[in-house]
Amino acid sequence: MLFFEVTMFVPLTPIRCLHRAMDLFSRKVGIVCGDKTFTYGEFGERAQRLASALRQWGVQAQDRVAYLSFNNHQLIEGYYGVVMAGGVVMPLNVRLSASELVAILNHSGARMLLYEQDFAGLVEEIKANCPAIERYVTLDAEYEALLATGTPERTDILSIDENSIAELFYTSGSTGTPKGVALSHRTLYLHALDASSLFEDPGSAVDLHTIPMFHANGWGRPQTDTMLGVKQVMVRRFEPGFVLSMIDQHHATHMSLVPTMANALINYPDLAKFNTSSMKKVMIGGAAASPELIERVEKAFPSARSFAGYGLTETAPAITTAQPKPGLEITDEKERFRRQSMAGWPLIGNEIRVVDPEGNDVPRDSEAIGEVVVRGDHVMEGYFKEPEATAAVMAGGWFHTGDMAVWDEERFIHIVDRKKEIIISGGENISSIEVEKAIFSHPAVFECAVVPAPDPKWGEVPVAIVVLKPGEALSEEVLLEYLGTRLGRYKMPRRVEFSEEQLPKTGTGKIRKMVLKEKFWVGLEKRVQG
């Protein structure tokens, strides 16, 4: 064994993504936000001034600095400036109520809150209930004044502890109290490095930040794009016509969407009025996609390919992609859409398995259902101040996602449901996602959700809530007849309800099944019968 007196160790940190952009792409346009445009040199200097100003104010190592903001240049500056100051950047879900935000801020112990004026009313309630917050800064002239007090000093990355926390994201809490997902410098850098392999031509890429940056590390794009020198266009809030105009105006090549966003875009009445020929890649994530959705997206954007992917806030977030796998030749278009709608195969740096309750791999036959577990570069450090919850999901050296899936010999993962959302009817497991995909394949359907309802004989049964496209008509009888050729009898919805209103969604665009399910279980002590 050889020993060396001198070794070279450079910490892994997302700050290196910014330094690379400033060194290599300083004159290249990096950030576009409304009528403001910043080169990577200008953007980097603003982030450095923010870091300097925060340190002068008193931000110390691991202090949490919260943001209540839509996508804008100030928030992405915070992604770097707060971290360079030694703090932990904590973007908040803007769709939460005042009481929910107060609970998160108090749990995190945040010392500072930067916010847009849109949320001034919420902030007044926060001020009255969050004594730990010492300073509030509006993201307008007050923010610019803060930056003016700082100096553009380059951070010494050798002083960084790569295992310290850089970001803190609170989960949506759809299955319980929100938990703070702590992501380290090392995890964020490795995620950016691994995800960079998905870009074929970053030099000409223009990425729309369609995903809220308060959600799951903005799907990793703030670091990956910056590392590669990709032009980043802020989409302040998702609105189909506005997004299409941004594609047209900025010749955007990439965007990421949850299925409900994709569905809204492809059904936008004036879609054909916009020039979207620049679009090359549409990534679908955040919830399960269907082959029909992938096909419809590619028809709506003929120059683009659309692929699903999979990840969680706890995995920084991306861990799989349904982009073409080297060595796997697919010539049949129907099979291509099926593959591209799956969660896909592991990104570099991740090991993924599908296991039974004893931790054994289930057969790779696309039939046996198990839980997705992962270990590798992208897994969180843990839930903030929640050691027991952290230990529960990290059992056996693997992170247990709570997502149920099947897999095949190509190690393609196909998510069938959340562990807690599998419908158990008469002892049979029913995937609500599978039933939803079958319903969505009907050309008259705009969106749908399948939830369990109590049943005295079967314990619980699937019920479908369906929203039709404008001008379409569809009866329960006709829909069930259509589904009869696509689903086993035991999987069929026992009831179909048609809604005139779009289904309720979270701040990240996911359908709120818990809200839809609640009315069927009101007055019952248990949420599962039998």
User: pLDDT at position 97, please?
Assistant: 85
pLDDT of 288 strictly over 90: no
pLDDT in tens, 70-111: 999 999 999 999 999 999 999 999 988 898 899 999 999 999
| Averaged pLDDT for residues 298-311 | 97
pLDDT in tens, 26-76: 999 999 999 999 999 999 999 999 999 999 999 999 999 999 999 999 999
Q: What is the C-alpha to C-alpha distance for residues 233 and 34, in angstroms, rounded to an integer?
A: 9
* Torsion angle, alpha carbons of 377, 366, 286, 493, to 10: -150
pLDDT of 2 strictly over 70: no
Report the topology of domain 423-521: GMP Synthetase; Chain A, domain 3 (3.30.300)
Which range among 186-200, 296-310, 451-465 shows the weakest confidence by mean pLDDT? Answer: 451-465
Q: Show Cβ contacts of residue 12 under 8 Å, excluding neighbours closer than 6 positions.
A: 162, 185, 186, 189, 190
Q: Show Cβ contacts of residue 199 under 8 Å, excluding neighbours closer than 6 positions.
A: 205, 224, 228, 230
Determine the longest span between alpha carbons in the chain, in angstroms.
78
User: pLDDT at position 508, please?
Assistant: 77
pLDDT in tens, 325-374: 999 999 999 999 999 999 999 999 999 999 999 999 999 999 999 999 99
pLDDT of 175 strictly over 80: no
**Fold match, 15-407 / 423-521:** no
Tokens of 269: 């009445």
Q: Which H or E run includes 233?
A: strand 231-234
* CATH classification number, 15-407, choose in 2.60.40.10, 3.30.470.20, 3.40.50.12780, 3.30.830.10: 3.40.50.12780
Length of the chain: 530
Query: What's phi and psi for 241, nearest 5 deg?
Result: -60, -40
User: pLDDT at position 158, please?
Assistant: 96
| Averaged pLDDT for residues 112-119 | 97
Write the secondary structure of 97-110 as one string of H (helix), E (strand) and C (coil). Answer: CHHHHHHHHHHHCC
Q: What is the C-alpha to C-alpha distance for residues 64 and 166, in angstroms, rounded to an integer?
A: 9
pLDDT of 512 strictly over 80: yes
User: pLDDT at position 178, please?
Assistant: 84
User: pLDDT at position 7, please?
Assistant: 77
Distances (CA, A) of 321 to 84, 193, 220, 342: 31, 15, 14, 8
User: pLDDT at position 83, please?
Assistant: 98
pLDDT in tens, 203-258: 999 999 999 999 999 999 999 999 999 999 999 999 999 999 999 999 999 999 99
pLDDT of 469 strictly over 70: yes
pLDDT in tens, 372-426: 999 999 999 999 999 999 999 999 999 999 999 999 999 999 998 888 788 878 7
- Considering only CA atoms, which of 172, 179, 245 is closest in space to residue 208? 245
| Domain residue extents for the chain | 15-407, 423-521
Q: Show Cβ contacts of residue 522 under 8 Å, excluding neighbours closer than 6 positions.
A: none
User: pLDDT at position 419, please?
Assistant: 82
User: pLDDT at position 362, please?
Assistant: 98
pLDDT of 174 strictly over 60: no
pLDDT of 504 strictly over 80: yes
| Averaged pLDDT for residues 275-285 | 97
Write the Ramachandran bin of 202: left for phi over 0, alpha for psi from -120 to 50, otherwise beta.
alpha
User: pLDDT at position 530, please?
Assistant: 35
pLDDT of 507 strictly over 80: no
Query: What's phi and psi for 498, nearest 5 deg?
Result: -100, 130
526 band by pLDDT with thresholds 50, 70 and 90? very low
pLDDT of 291 strictly over 80: yes
Q: What percent of the chain has pLDDT over 90?
A: 83
pLDDT of 1 strictly over 80: no
pLDDT of 263 strictly over 60: yes
User: pLDDT at position 77, please?
Assistant: 98
User: pLDDT at position 95, please?
Assistant: 85
User: pLDDT at position 524, please?
Assistant: 66
User: pLDDT at position 417, please?
Assistant: 84
Q: What is the C-alpha to C-alpha distance for residues 452 and 457, in angstroms, rounded to an integer?
A: 14
| Averaged pLDDT for residues 194-198 | 94
